[in-house]
Amino acid sequence: MKLLPSLRQKKRYIVWKIVSDKDFTVQDIQSAVESALTSFLGQLGLAKASPLFLKEKCNNKTFIIKVNHKYVDECKSAIILIKKIKNMPVLLTSVTTSGTLKKACSFVK
C-alpha cells in the first residue's frame, strides 16, 4: 500500500564540495559526515532529519546528502563543522540545495 503524497516525507538534496589537497575515498567521507551529524544533532535529531549519504553520486571532491526539508539548516551546520578527514585539514562548502536529484546531480559533474 502506497502512502498518500501528503503523508510522504519531503526531502532536499544538498550538494557539498570538499576543498583539500588530498583525494578521499567514499568511505572516509561518509564516516566523517555521519560522525559530525551524530555529534551535532544527537540520536533523536538524526532520526528526525533522516540524512542519507548517496554513495552512487559521490566522487573525490563532491558528494550529495538527502535530508528532510525541515532539517536542512541543521545538517548544513553540522557538516560545516568538519575540519579534518583522516587527519588532513579540509574545508567543506555547500554548493546548492535542490528538491530533485536530477538537478543536484548536474552540480556534481
What is the per-residue pLDDT across 27-82, written as a single tens digit (0 to 9) for each?
A: 999 999 999 999 999 999 999 999 999 999 888 899 999 999 999 999 999 999 99
User: What number is the average pLDDT over the span 3-31?
Assistant: 93
The pLDDT assigned to 1 comes to: 79
R_g of the chain computed on alpha carbons: 14
C-alpha cell at 38: 551524530
The pLDDT assigned to 59 comes to: 87
For domain 11-108, say whether CATH 3.30.70.3250 is its number: yes
**What pTM was computed for the model?**
0.91
How far apart are the C-alpha atoms of 51 and 33, rounded to whole Å? Answer: 10
Is the predicted pLDDT of residue 109 greater than 80, yes or no?
Answer: no
Exposed (0-12), middle (13-18) or buried (19+): which is 15, by Cβ within 10 Å? buried
Residue 10, classed as helix, strand or coil, is: coil
